[in-house]
Amino acid sequence: MHKQDTLRLHPDILFRAVPPEGVLVDQRIPSVMVINESGLRMMELIRDKGSRQAVIDALMEEYDAPAEVIRADVDAFLDDLRNRDMLS
């Protein structure tokens, strides 16, 4: 499942930083949610990089954590987005 590398957010999912967290709007419900700091960063990377591997690479540059931990965190976050139908 995570081998599918290309990532694109659903066009009805919009978000902005309200430091240190973020606000996410799901236009389909519609609802406004709060996303935490790491969730916000992953959303930004998905939007800007567009691939799972690029998101992982960028986070490895930014955080001093073992690669497998970062990979697992990213995959868990992507699973959550998929479950909410937030990736198109």
Partner 1 sequence: MYHSVIRRRIREQGLLHGIMLELTYACNLDCFFCYNDREAQGEPLNPEQYRQLFDDLAAMNVMFVTFTGGEPLLYPHFFELGRAARERGFAIRIKTNGHAVRGATAQRLKEEINPLLVEMSLHGATSQTHDRQTRVAGSFNRLLRNIREMQDLGLRPGLVSTPTAWNEQELEAMYELARSIGVPLRFQGPVGPRDNGDQSPLEIQPSPASWERLLELGERYRQAPHATAFGPPVEETGQEDKGETAWCGAGSEEILVDPFGNVFPCLHLRWSAGNLHDLGIREIWERSKAFPAARELSEETAGQMREKKPRQLGAPLYCPGLALKGCGGCNSC
Positions touching partner 1 (CB under 8 A) are 11-12, 14-19, 21, 23, 25, 27, 29-34
Beta carbons within 8 Å of 43's beta carbon, 6+ residues apart = 9, 15, 22, 24, 35
CB of 66 to partner 1, least distance (A): 31
Strands 31-35 and 21-26: antiparallel
Q: CA-to-CA distance for 79 and 17, rounded, in angstroms?
A: 22
For partner 1, give the closer residue by CB, 34 or 76.
34
For partner 1, give the closer residue by CB, 23 or 87.
23
CB of 69 to partner 1, least distance (A): 27
Asked if residues 21 and 34 have their Cβ atoms less than 8 Å apart, the reply is yes
CB of 3 to partner 1, least distance (A): 28
For partner 1, give the closer residue by CB, 32 or 67.
32
